């Protein structure tokens, strides 16, 4: 019995054209900023997570100031998928936030179309390395301020000034736990990507401590 693929008479070109275009998006940010939560909130498939329980040794390496209730952390990546339409699929890759795992960022960023940098106002400086990383590589990104319960509330302008963002980088507020809010962040990124489709010279960032 022949499989359907064997009976497809449209030819290789037509078959290839029928496949959706896959778009790779990174979700980055500091330790405990909500990257795993955001990927899980929007993924149409059960997300792939590499969460491990925090140990005493891990807590020594990754201070929990401001995120005292955190009990697990991503040690490699998160992965999720969203179908935009019949022709386009987003693949989401969440990066690990701890400094000792920054060496993975280079591999994960290969082929990335754009990125979301999650910022936690309780530890705002933790998003600086991700901002520097994408600026230096000319990867288009938006900054999404994840508004944790009990966290400080700042305007987009205040966040922009504190992080030292270029004028054209969007800053949005979100609740990474909510599908609608997380989806709105991705929609903002797609809109920003479309508005910056022309090749641009990578920005010259300030030195915020980019991973090397």
Structure tokens at 73: 């952390």
Residues 6 or more apart whose CB falls under 8 angstroms from that of 66 comprise 32, 120, 122, 123
Beta carbons within 10 angstroms of residue 125's beta carbon:
13
pLDDT at 118 over 70: yes
pTM of the model: 0.73
Domain ranges of the chain: 18-195
What is the CATH T-level fold of the domain 18-195, as seen in this structure? Rossmann fold (3.40.50)
pLDDT at 28: 94
pLDDT at 1: 42
Residues 6 or more apart whose CB falls under 8 angstroms from that of 173 comprise 144, 145, 147, 156
pLDDT at 31 over 60: yes
Most confident of 18-22, 49-53, 139-143: 139-143
User: Is the separation of the CB atoms in 176 and 204 below 8 Å?
Assistant: no
Q: Which of 45-54, 165-174, 202-211 has the lowest mean pLDDT?
A: 202-211
Most confident of 4-8, 68-72, 186-190: 186-190
pLDDT at 80 over 90: yes
pLDDT at 164: 94
| Sheet with strand 171-174: strands edge to edge | 78-85, 88-94, 21-29, 114-120, 140-146, 171-174
Rounded Cα–Cα distance for residues 28 and 205 (Å): 17
Q: Kindly report, residue by residue over 143-156, the tens digit of the pLDDT.
A: 999 998 877 889 99
pLDDT at 71: 46
pLDDT at 209: 64
């Amino acid at each position: 019995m022949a499989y359907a693929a064997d009976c497809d008479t449209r030819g290789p070109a037509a078959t290839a054209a029928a496949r959706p275009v896959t778009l790779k998006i990174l979700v980055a940010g500091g330790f405990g900023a909500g990257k795993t939560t955001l990927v899980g909130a929007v993924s149409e498939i059960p997300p792939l997570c590499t969460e491990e329980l925090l140990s005493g040794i891990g807590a020594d390496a990754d201070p929990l100031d401001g995120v005292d209730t955190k009990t697990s952390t991503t040690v490699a990546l998160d992965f999720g998928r969203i179908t935009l339409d019949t022709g386009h699929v987003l693949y989401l890759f969440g990066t690990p936030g701890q400094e000792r795992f920054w060496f993975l960022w280079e591999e994960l960023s290969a082929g990335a179309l754009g990125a979301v940098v999650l910022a936690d106002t309780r530890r705002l400086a933790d998003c600086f390395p991700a901002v520097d990383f994408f600026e230096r590589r000319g990867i288009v990104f938006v900054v999404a301020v994840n508004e944790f319960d009990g966290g400080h509330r700042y305007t987009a302008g205040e966040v922009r000034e504190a992080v030292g963002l270029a004028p054209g980088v969007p800053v949005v507020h979100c609740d990474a736990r909510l599908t609608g809010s997380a989806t709105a962040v991705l929609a903002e990124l797609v809109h920003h990507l479309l508005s910056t489709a022309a090749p641009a010279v990578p920005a010259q960032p300030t030195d915020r401590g980019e991973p090397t």
